[in-house]
């Protein structure tokens, strides 16, 4: 009888080298076909740095750190992640100040809005006028959490833009550590380590530590909630302390992005119903369902439920209205008239791979050009996510990971039915979970499924060329 093939604990050089080559090919094709829209040299440099550093160090570190002890690995993961993020925070602060005269990114409307509201809140706290801010919030709790958090940080450390971003570096590093532990609990130690390293290195998560936006903190809360929820499902008994912490994280998330909190609670409910009995006993799952139903009924009596209902009521119009907005209101004649054809049925099949890199010069989308390499890494590791899902299906193990799958599926559906389906920023809460499945997909690679990798890269390159044609054609 043939012995089962050993699982990979690192990503082979074959995959990383082919990925870098594919990005270079996509860039050359876009440059040749759309020469009049050639990407500026600075963003070319950023794009190649993002792709090369991610894939080079992913191969190197997954192999080098695969044999160290668990304690040593956790220290290396956290410390390396922290240093990467600190360097980026300082560099981006200087970079944006030099480029734009202020330490805010391109198209920084939201970041400046959060900063301004936090300063206003700081003034109200100092003047003992907190009630004025409570009246301002009213019953609209969604999106109010980050300005409150930022105002509190300013109150403690002063009006310093750098300190909150350095805190993000710490929070993001803990996020990488929790991602490793969550992936380890679901897929084993080797896969957990790869997932942690990928989370440490993925350019998108690094990028947002240098901005005055809520994404880093929000991703940390989401990963912490799923980690704790997964522990509740897999543990032998239900503990009151775990539910208290889960409730606290859910409340915090309602103040960051209400619909995301509702998505997490729904995912917990689905996991309690459908998780395999090999993972969680029936009696415990029934108890968990009853507790969740009680929590949902209590939630329905609060204004938070009104925020969720308002989103659901408008969801059918979100995509079409946003696409019409993109089509009609781009500044300075840079309208994308083809955006009006965007719809849920168009976006949904692409959601695991999207968004796609901008490899042409779109003057009003500097951040998208800057992050072209980061977008490409998502296009590539989606292949391993597909491998993971197919493997789990064939092995009949999908029900062992219902919580992770329920969150990914429900949030993708929400994104596809919103006006931000291809907006990279709104995909960020998905990244740690996609990276977990990508790491598991890497561990399952063999000669049989390896042969599909290069055709997939060809497909991705063609999609990227088509996407860049779309961006230009709609503006011509």
The DSSP secondary structure of 272-308, one letter per residue, reads HHHS-TTTS-HHHHHHHHHHHHHHHHHHHTSHHHHHH
Query: 419: helix, coil or strand?
Result: coil
Cis peptide before 89 (omega within 30 of 0): no
Tokens of 41: 């040299």
Tokens of 17: 């080298």
Residue 158 CA to residue 119 CA, distance in Å, equals 10
What is the reported pLDDT for 255? Answer: 87
Residue 453 CA to residue 28 CA, distance in Å, equals 20
What is the reported pLDDT for 418? Answer: 73
Confirm if 190 and 445 have CB atoms less than 8 A apart.
no
Closest CA to 426 of 263, 314, 310, 245: 263
218: CB partners within 8 A, 6+ apart: 146, 253, 256, 257, 260, 428, 429
Closest CA to 424 of 471, 362, 357, 360: 357
Closest CA to 200 of 73, 90, 70: 73
Residue 217's H or E segment, with its range, is: helix 215-234
**366 φ/ψ angles, rounded to the nearest 5 degrees:** -65, -40
**197 φ/ψ angles, rounded to the nearest 5 degrees:** -65, -40
Tokens of 143: 């999106």
pTM, rounded to two decimals:
0.91
pLDDT in tens, 161-178: 999 999 999 999 999 999
Q: At what angle do helices 189-201 and 70-100 cross, to 10 degrees?
A: 10
What is the reported pLDDT for 329? Answer: 45
What is the reported pLDDT for 312? Answer: 57
Residue 69 CA to residue 111 CA, distance in Å, equals 40
What is the reported pLDDT for 321? Answer: 47
What is the reported pLDDT for 346? Answer: 58
What is the reported pLDDT for 323? Answer: 43
248, 291, 309, 370 from 232: Cα distances, Å: 15, 12, 28, 40
What is the reported pLDDT for 349? Answer: 65
Q: At what angle do helices 240-254 and 258-274 cross, to 10 degrees?
A: 150
With a cut of 50, list the residues of the chain below it in pLDDT. 1-4, 318-334, 338-342
What is the reported pLDDT for 314? Answer: 59
């Amino acid at each position: 009888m043939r012995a089962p093939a050993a699982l990979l604990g690192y990503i082979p050089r074959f995959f990383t080298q082919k990925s870098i080559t594919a990005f270079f090919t996509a860039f050359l094709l876009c440059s040749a076909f759309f020469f009049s829209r050639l990407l500026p040299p600075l963003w070319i440099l950023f794009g190649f740095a993002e792709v090369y550093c991610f894939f080079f160090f992913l191969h190197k570190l997954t192999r080098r750190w695969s044999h160290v002890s668990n304690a040593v690995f956790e220290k290396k993961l956290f410390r390396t992640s922290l240093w990467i993020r600190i360097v980026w925070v300082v560099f981006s602060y200087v970079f944006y100040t030099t480029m734009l005269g202020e330490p805010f990114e391109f198209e920084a409307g939201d970041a400046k809005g959060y900063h301004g509201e936090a300063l206003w809140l700081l003034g109200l706290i100092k003047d003992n006028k907190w009630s004025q801010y409570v009246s301002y919030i009213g019953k609209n709790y969604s999106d109010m959490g980050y300005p409150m958090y930022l105002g509190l940080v300013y109150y403690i450390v002063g009006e310093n833009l750098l300190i909150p971003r350095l805190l993000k570096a710490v929070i993001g590093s803990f996020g990488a550590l929790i991602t490793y532990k969550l992936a380890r609990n679901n897929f084993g130690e080797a896969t957990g380590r790869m997932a942690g390293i990928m989370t440490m290195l993925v350019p998108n998560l690094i990028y947002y530590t240098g901005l005055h936006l809520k994404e880093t903190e929000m991703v940390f809360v989401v990963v912490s909630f799923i980690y704790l929820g997964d522990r509740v499902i897999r543990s032998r008994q239900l503990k009151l302390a775990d539910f208290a912490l889960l409730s606290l994280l859910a409340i915090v998330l309602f103040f960051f992005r209400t619909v995301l909190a509702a998505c997490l609670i729904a995912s917990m409910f689905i996991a309690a119903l459908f998780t395999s009995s090999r993972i969680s006993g029936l009696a415990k799952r029934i108890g968990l369902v009853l507790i969740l139903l009680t929590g949902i009924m209590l939630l329905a009596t609060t204004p938070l439920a009104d925020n969720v209902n308002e989103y659901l009521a408008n969801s059918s119009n979100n995509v079409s209205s946003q696409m019409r907005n993109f089509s009609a209101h781009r500044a300075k004649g840079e309208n994308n008239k083809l955006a009006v054809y965007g719809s849920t049925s168009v976006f949904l099949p692409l959601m695991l791979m999207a968004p796609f890199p901008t490899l042409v010069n779109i003057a009003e989308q500097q951040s998208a050009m800057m992050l072209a390499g980061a977008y490409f890494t998502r296009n590539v590791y989606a292949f391993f996510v597909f491998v993971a899902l197919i493997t789990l299906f064939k092995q009949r193990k999908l029900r062992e990971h219902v919580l992770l799958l329920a969150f990914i599926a429900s949030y993708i559906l929400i994104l596809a039915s919103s006006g931000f389906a291809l907006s990279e920023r709104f995909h960020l809460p998905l990244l740690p979970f996609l990276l977990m499945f990508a790491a598991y997909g890497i561990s399952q690679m063999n000669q049989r499924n390896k042969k599909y990798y290069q055709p997939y890269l060809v497909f991705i390159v063609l999609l990227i060329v088509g996407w860049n044609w779309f961006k230009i054609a709609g503006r011509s």
